[in-house]
Amino acid sequence: MKNAIFKLFKVTFSFIFTLIMCLSFSTLTNAASVKNIPVKKTLSADITGDGKSDKILITTSTDKDCFIKKLKVKVNNKVAFTKNCTNDNIHSFTARYAKMSNKNELLQLMGIGDNDYIVFNQIYKYNNKSKKLYSVSKLDYTACEIVSAKKNLLTLRHGDQPAETGWLNWKMNYKFRNNKLVLTSTTTSTVKSIIGNYHNDSYSKLFRKNIFVTAKKLRFYNGSKLAFTVPKGKQVTLKKLTLSKNTMYLQFQYGKKTGWLRVNNKDYNYESPYFKVVSRRLAG
């Protein structure tokens, strides 16, 4: 269900789902310092750090199959970035401008492929000496769009679909250090289940509250130590998410106890699901 970068959807439903949850930039932005940059239309915004508006223009060229062959970014009428996309199967690019301060103005470029896969996602800063954009990010496969920018903090929306829980969205904060964006923490309490958003049954009402019903006996851990065991048919509440070397763990609460569960397991048995109803709501 996952490709090398974002591992998203493969069917029509998933196309709509991703579009709504991850790529509807105009509805997800919650900061005036973040702007969309239309392709082939000049945006006036400071990218050079002098406090004055610059001209930012993004253009693309396509092949006979309507795939993008080349991406070009101009700053003040001079080419600041190019990317050869011949073998990337990219249908379109989405760009976003974010201003953290007069010294930290950023440009995010996202290449969108078949079924809305995010096949390219990088954040750039402008170098006044070379007059070029250079990458300041190393985003993992769950990263999506910038949603807010403050003086010392950049917030990105993330999303993934573990087979164990279905689609989850969350936010991660980044700081600008040593000319790179770095995560402030690999753990977040902003994680939300979204598989209940398009149904109106009893399970959907639980999912909207981050509540899951066990489909079998499950063990939850704190580190390598068993925290507790939950019988089949009991409710647990999703509280936190943490990422460790591209491995995802989810914290659940059962009564007053909390424990962690590893997800995205390669050997996950779909015929013996962790939680009720989840399997038939997986996209892709």
Q: For residues 204 and 273, state if they share a domain.
A: yes
The residue among 140, 85, 88, 145 whose CA lies nearest residue 114 is: 88
Q: How far apart are CA 95 and CA 81, in angstroms?
A: 13
Instruction: Look up residue 212 and give its amino acid.
Output: F
Q: What is the pLDDT of residue 32?
A: 53
Calculate the CA 182 to chain-centre distance: 15
Q: For residues 119 and 47, state if they share a domain.
A: yes
Average pLDDT over residues 197-226: 96
Residues 169-194 pLDDT 10s: 999 999 989 989 999 999 999 999 99
What is the maximal distance between C-alpha atoms in the chain? 64
The residue among 102, 105, 179, 87 whose CA lies nearest residue 146 is: 105
> What is the model's pTM?
0.84
Average pLDDT over residues 26-44: 75
Q: For residues 97 and 226, state if they share a domain.
A: no
Out of 106, 134, 160, a domain closes at 160
Average pLDDT over residues 198-211: 94
Q: What is the pLDDT of residue 33?
A: 87
Q: For residues 93 and 209, state if they share a domain.
A: no
pLDDT over 60 (residue 23): no
Contact 275, 215 (CB under 8 A): yes
Which structural domain range is residue 215 located in?
199-281
Q: Which phi-psi region, left, alpha or beta, contains residue 27 (left: φ > 0; alpha: ψ -120 to 50)?
A: alpha
Q: For residues 21 and 127, state if they share a domain.
A: yes
β-sheet bridge partners, residue 161: none
Q: What is the pLDDT of residue 101?
A: 85
In a domain, 167, yes or no: no
